[in-house]
Amino acid sequence: MNRYKIPPPPPKLDSSYPLVRTKALKLSRNVGHQNALLAGLDFVGQQCACAISIDADLQDDIGVFDEFIKAFKQGKEVVYGVRKSRDTDTMFKRKSAQGFYEVMAFLGVRIVYNHADYRLLSARAIAALASFKEVNLFLRGIVPLLGFPSGVVRYDRLERVAGESKYPLRKMLSFAWNGITSFSIVPLRLVSVVGFVFFLLSVLFGGYVLCVRLFTDWAVYGWASTLIPLSFFSGIQLLSLGVIGEYVGKIYQESKARPRYFVEEAI
């Protein structure tokens, strides 16, 4: 763990400095970004009127904290931090993020566009969030389901000062797929639709072959006409089984109801 030296407060802050309290949780192991975030919210939920979650890289602008608090005082129990633009991202990340939000919208999943995990939650919203016991957490999809009055604070995301992103492409794809399969059964329905369409096509193709065989002198032969459709449909079947298996795997994980995290130490 990195160690940082905290300088003494300026004289003008002496009177308010005792009000500043820093607490930290050390989890027993790495449980992933979403579960770690939930652990922090669970820890502070009964100790505060509201809590703001923010990534440790501090690319999200802390200068808009006042706007979060202002919205909370106006009755908003969930306040989303929404990026004004993605100018600090690479072209690939901008396009992939846009594609992700479009896919989620197509699947009927309600999430806030250009919002990550920079948000304010009231104590009541945190308590409601704790009632979601699912293991495969996707907080960007769960929080809108709470239904409490919500607002938006727009901000400019800053450039990374130091270090590198802990979310490589592999993790981003896994995170996106988890969000899709945790909140939509459309992929399963698409498998059914694709299966039905190709069933009809196979019936039509079979009818065509039968007609050619019975009513014409054409010879229906060749490895290509047999192997190409066979290979194609086999690929579709394996892909469909993979999608179904993903959902079955999630059911298996949820049915075990294992704890999502253990707190080793609270500082």
Q: What is the pTM of this model?
A: 0.68
Nearest-CA neighbor of 265 among 26, 46, 94?
A: 26
| pLDDT tens string 147-175 | 899 999 999 887 776 656 666 667 777 77
Domain count across the chain: 2
Q: Residues 6 or more apart from 205 whose CB is under 8 A from it? A: 229
3-state secondary structure of 43: helix
**Domain extent for 106:** 19-168
CA distance 63 to 84: 14
| pLDDT tens string 35-75 | 889 998 988 888 888 999 988 877 888 888 999 999 999 99
For the chain, strand residue ranges (E) read 25-27, 50-53, 78-83, 115-122, 150-155, 263-266
CA distance 101 to 116: 11
- One domain for residues 38 and 160: yes
200 within some domain: yes
Nearest-CA neighbor of 22 among 1, 40, 42?
A: 40
12 within some domain: no
| pLDDT tens string 179-237 | 777 777 778 778 777 777 777 777 777 777 777 777 777 655 665 567 667 767 777 78
